[in-house]
Amino acid sequence: MSELPRSTDVFVIGGGPAGLAAAIAARRYGMDVTVADHAVPPIDKACGEGIMPDGVAAARALGIDLTAAGPRPFRGIRFCENGDSVSATFPEGQGFGLRRIALHNLMVDHALDLGVRLAWGAHITGIEPEGVRAGSRLVRAGLVVGADGGHSNVRAWAGLDASERDSRRYGFRRHYRIAPWTEFMEIHWADGCQLYITPVAESEVCVVLITRDPRLRLDAALPRFPGVERRLAGIEGSPERGGVSASRRLKAVCRGRVALVGDASGSVDAITGEGLCLLFQQAQSLAVAIEAGDLVSYQAAHRRIGRRPEFMAGLMLLLENQGRLRRRALRAMMSEPRLFARLLAMHVGLLSNLDFFTNGLAFGRRFLTL
């Protein structure tokens, strides 16, 4: 643990992946950067642990080589329900399944190698025009970055809590010691909830339940997914961890000398698998804006970065409680697998607006003719 300095160019509050990514990006521009978190590594979080190809590329753009942490690659996405399924491979690259703790350790090491100052176990009690307050002590900072999660204190201190959209679901995660049975990340559908399953090691999968019911747990939900239940029968899972999967868009993500990244700055539903990609891209855009002395440009970039994942989350969640509509959509994609492949390409940002529009028309025609 480093001691808090008297002053720093950039003070990042929150030492999870978002805060570390922001620190790494700023440090690559030569800024003096301090990260403070009240927690002490290893830091875990209930998440699906899948990183889509655009997220892998965004990490690489920050100089973070995810292969160094020993991820389990996956080739694409599979949708499943009641024995029916449709799958498609990514048009470019591959996704990675990577334990959250392994990702965090990798990013900590990379930040230290770059010269980022890390202060674990530090309690930040407020922000002021000159910097941040740690108890009775003031640390002067040119910019304060809030990366302290969905319940961000920094967001509240800066008066940035106002949102345009705010809805919540709940996620519950377990790991199971079983060899992955597929090269795909799988999303299993049922009314009111989904399971998504990510291979994270040669003999381990991550299983996440996402639901609007905060009382529903994995053991109770598994009978809704009989194929998965049969595979996991007799296998003891890790202790269950839970968290909130929020869909939140803030009216603003910066004010004065304060900027927000990661879940502190808003989020998309976890079903997209785009959370890590978003924070990597936000971190890079924030560093560019700091270097240019123009935080307003970060506000615009942040909105642009989130537009596609927000749209895809909304599209997928339309099917959440519409069983007949969802099954018909699944049959349409099964009868024309290239449509699902193009939807996946759109999901990872590899289709233009025109291609997106054309693909939507083709899917609509196929849907209506079934």
Q: What is the percent of the chain where pLDDT is above 70?
A: 95
> Looking at the domain 7-72+96-166+249-316, which fold is it?
FAD/NAD(P)-binding domain (3.50.50)
- The one-letter amino acid at 16: G
Show me where the domains of the chain are located.
7-72+96-166+249-316, 167-244, 322-369
Give the predicted TM-score (pTM) of the model. 0.93
Is 1.10.3470 the CATH number for 167-244?
no
| Per-position b or e across 71-97, b if 16+ CB within 10 A of its CB | bbebbbbbbbbeeebbbbebeebbbbb
What pLDDT is recorded for position 1?
57
Q: Are 191 and 321 in contact (CB under 8 A)?
A: yes
Dist. CA 348–CA 345, nearest whole Å: 5
Dist. CA 65–CA 280, nearest whole Å: 13
What pLDDT is recorded for position 368?
47
- Tens digit of each residue's pLDDT (9 = 90 or more) over 61-109: 999 999 999 999 999 999 999 999 999 999 999 999 999 999 999 999 9
Q: Confirm whether 7-72+96-166+249-316 and 167-244 share one CATH topology.
A: no
Dist. CA 225–CA 195, nearest whole Å: 8
Quickly state the pLDDT bin for 350 (edges 50, 70, 90): confident
N-terminal to C-terminal alpha carbon distance within the chain? 61
Structure tokens at 177: 């010691």
What pLDDT is recorded for position 325?
86
Quickly state the pLDDT bin for 352 (edges 50, 70, 90): low
Residue 23 vs residues 110, 142, 276: alpha-carbon distances, Å? 10, 14, 15
- Tens digit of each residue's pLDDT (9 = 90 or more) over 12-65: 999 999 999 999 999 999 999 999 999 999 889 888 899 999 999 999 999 999
Beta strands 204-211 and 193-201, pairing class: antiparallel
Does the structure show a pLDDT above 60 at 361? no
What pLDDT is recorded for position 282?
98
Residue 122 vs residues 14, 38, 72: alpha-carbon distances, Å? 10, 5, 34
- Tens digit of each residue's pLDDT (9 = 90 or more) over 168-181: 999 999 999 999 99
